[in-house]
Amino acid sequence: MKDIMQGVYTVTTKSFDDTTSPKQQFNVDGKQVYVYFGITRGYSLSISESPIHISSAMMFEFEPTSDYLFIYRLWEIAQKFISFLCYRRNAWIPEVELSAPYKEGKHEKFATLYVLSQYGETEVKRIKEKRYIKQEHISGHEGRILSEIAKDMLYIRHIPETDESGRQIDAAKFIMITAAFEWEFRQLFPEGIKKSEKTVEIEDQAEKAIQELIDLSSGKLKKKYRFLKKLIRSDSLQDEVIYTGNQLGKVIDVFGKRLYELNNGTLNYTEMGQRLADQRNHYAHGDLDKDFIGESLSDVVFMRYVVYAIQLSRFGIDEKSIQHAINELFRCGILIN
């Protein structure tokens, strides 16, 4: 305290080893890439600049290459990764440092990649509020997430451009969020909903009956029967919502109960699934001017949390980390023990 009162301050930073995460491996177009996170330090003796600059960094390591399209591809993957963690597309990465092996395991910067289209207004408020998924919540799974992005297997098309636009739900956003849910549902449950022997038996009978109609028909009628045959074993949106609630209730119920209570409602996956299906049918028939049915606006807001729960679950992230990630990303204000 004595030194502080006299205007003397001492700043100590931790070592690189203490502030660098373990490497995670993933593949991009058949090439092996390693990713890790760390803290970069910059120093300046100029009186017009801060004497020390500390920033977080995501680093990729790969075999030396002159293929700059590959490097740009890595930038695209990194951009999508950050957007996924922030639930907004305007998480800018306008500048990338390129380094080459030097000696004793060190690297030397030799170039800077600028992506001119990536300059825009930074949402500093969201950063200060820590409205993003922290690295500690996905630690050990970064490579898997990046691999899914590289293979275009992680659904992120529904992510809004900005935080402000993400707060506005219209017909287009409704369709994209429900599409994200159904896409990710099939990734987490590739075999679909587990059905009873009785249900399977009924579906077999229905399929046999409609196959007979297909064999006896022709032209447009035959196409109609074939279309109906595909629907026999398909799961409805309502059924998928109910099944997800049963499978991931330990993770997502706490968010759903809080959200519906704030709107004087209750969390009920059966009713929620029906409302979402009815609302989507309105839009499918061109009724874009229809108001949201009952609590379906709350339903689609909740579905944003559900989509993240499904995605993080299939990466193998534990339940508590998923809850912390959703809670902080969307500022749900729930106490997670």
Mean confidence (pLDDT) of the chain? 86
Report which of residues 72 and 289 the model is more confident about.
Answer: 72
Q: To 5 degrees, how large is the angle CA 318–CA 319–CA 324?
A: 105
Mean of pLDDT values over 176-201 = 87
- Structural tokens at position 311: 């995605």
The pLDDT assigned to 49 comes to 79
- pLDDT above 70 for 1: no
The pLDDT assigned to 52 comes to 80
Mean of pLDDT values over 82-88 = 94
- pLDDT above 60 for 98: yes
CA atoms of 180 and 112, how far apart (whole Å): 35
Residues 14-50 have pLDDT tens digits of 877 777 888 999 999 899 999 998 887 777 777 777 8
Most confident of 108-117, 173-182, 185-194, 275-284: 173-182
Predicted confidence band of residue 9 (pLDDT cuts 50, 70, 90) = confident
- Structural tokens at position 224: 């109609």
CA atoms of 245 and 242, how far apart (whole Å): 5
Q: To 5 degrees, how large is the angle CA 132–CA 12–CA 122?
A: 30
Q: To 5 degrees, how large is the angle CA 120–CA 124–CA 125?
A: 135
The pLDDT assigned to 53 comes to 77
Chain-centroid distance of CA 84 in Å reads 4
Residues present in the chain in total: 337
The pLDDT assigned to 295 comes to 84
Lowest mean pLDDT among 52-66, 224-238, 258-272: 224-238
Where would I find the H helices in the chain?
Answer: 2-5, 68-86, 124-128, 135-138, 142-150, 163-166, 171-188, 197-216, 219-232, 237-262, 269-284, 296-314, 319-329
Ramachandran sector of residue 286 (left: φ over 0; alpha: ψ -120 to 50; beta: rest): left
CA atoms of 253 and 166, how far apart (whole Å): 22
Helix (H, G, I), strand (E, B), or coil: what is residue 34? strand
Residues 244-262 have pLDDT tens digits of 999 999 999 999 999 999 9
In percent, the amount of the chain with pLDDT more than 70 equals 93
Kindly report the backbone phi and psi dihedral angles of residue 112, in degrees, each rounded to the nearest multiple of 5, phi listed first.
-130, 130
Mean of pLDDT values over 310-333 = 96
Predicted confidence band of residue 90 (pLDDT cuts 50, 70, 90) = confident
Mean of pLDDT values over 121-148 = 88
Kindly report the backbone phi and psi dihedral angles of residue 201, in degrees, each rounded to the nearest multiple of 5, phi listed first.
-65, -45
Residues 266-294 have pLDDT tens digits of 999 999 999 999 888 887 766 666 667 77
Cα–Cα distance list, 171 to 73, 151, 168, 178, 283 (Å): 32, 28, 10, 11, 7
Hunting for tokens 């990630």 — which residue is that?
325
- pLDDT above 80 for 215: yes
Mean of pLDDT values over 175-184 = 95
Report which of residues 66 and 234 the model is more confident about.
Answer: 66
Report which of residues 118 and 72 the model is more confident about.
Answer: 72
Predicted confidence band of residue 233 (pLDDT cuts 50, 70, 90) = low
CA atoms of 97 and 41, how far apart (whole Å): 14
